Structure 1
């Protein structure tokens, strides 16, 4: 049994998404470097600004070895951007949390990401809302209610 031919529109959309992702990663790496962070350090810091997170969950989220996360958190902790705390529900578990300096650094880094600012500004609010809603559906977040 042969598979149906690819939908040309779907192929074009996938290629455009790939271009956006590549530009985002390139700019994110450059922005992180301006703050003397690696891309991995910046991503972990960004995650920890959302909520303090156990080290093993960070490793699962980024699909990497826990020892890699330990090294990243060690370097962020040495710079005062992250701290380790015992988990209140299980004191044997260590959670990592962004410090106030870490949250400030992450906010500055986010604010320096310009690649989409101008193209998004060219869209109307309704178009940006539609784009957001479609992207949420694609990543499994469903349409906002």
Structure 2
């Protein structure tokens, strides 16, 4: 007599949190390696990747979860390499926004390509699987969800 194996019980919230921690650690190891390939630290690479639009130093500090004084050093080094520029905020000229230069945009594209080359499993997902994963991540982390079009 052949018995069907019992399906694994669903993961507990704690087990899912552990899995997310492992995934995040693996992602940041890969991100750090991609950034390093372009002569950047992990934090410099993360900063560049967050500049999808000009952002204030305060906004960058919040997104990077670090002190504004740390962001100043990161931005100084990126500016020295010609990857970002400081520009006055159009609303409050006392505030300096940080924006990518053309070279910075190019570097972000290269880092992103390096990241995607190491995450080929995402490309093998069906459209339905990618939609489902995106929806689950948005539900789990609503503060990170992409704005609706």
TM-score where L is the length of structure 1: 0.85
CA distance in 1, matches of 2:123, 2:109: 20
Could you list the structure 1 runs, at least 4 aligned residues long, displaced by more than 6 angstroms after superposition. Answer: none
CA contact (8 A) 1:31 1:109 kept: yes
CA distance in 2, matches of 1:43, 1:72: 10
Correspondence 1:1-145 to 2 at 5 A: 8-48=11-51, 50-113=52-115, 114-117=117-120, 119-140=121-142, 141=145
Higher RCO, 1 or 2 (CA under 8 Å, sep at least 6)?
1
CA distance in 2, matches of 1:109, 1:35: 8
Q: CA 1:82 to 1:103, structure 2 compared with 1: closer, same or farther past 3 Å?
A: same
Deviation at 1:8, TM superposition (A): 4.6
The count of corresponding residues between Structure 1 and Structure 2 is: 136
Report SS of the residue matched to 1:84: strand
TM-score where L is the length of structure 2: 0.83
Match of 2:4?
Answer: none
Provide the aligned C-alpha RMSD in A. 1.9
Gaps of 5+ in 1: 1-6
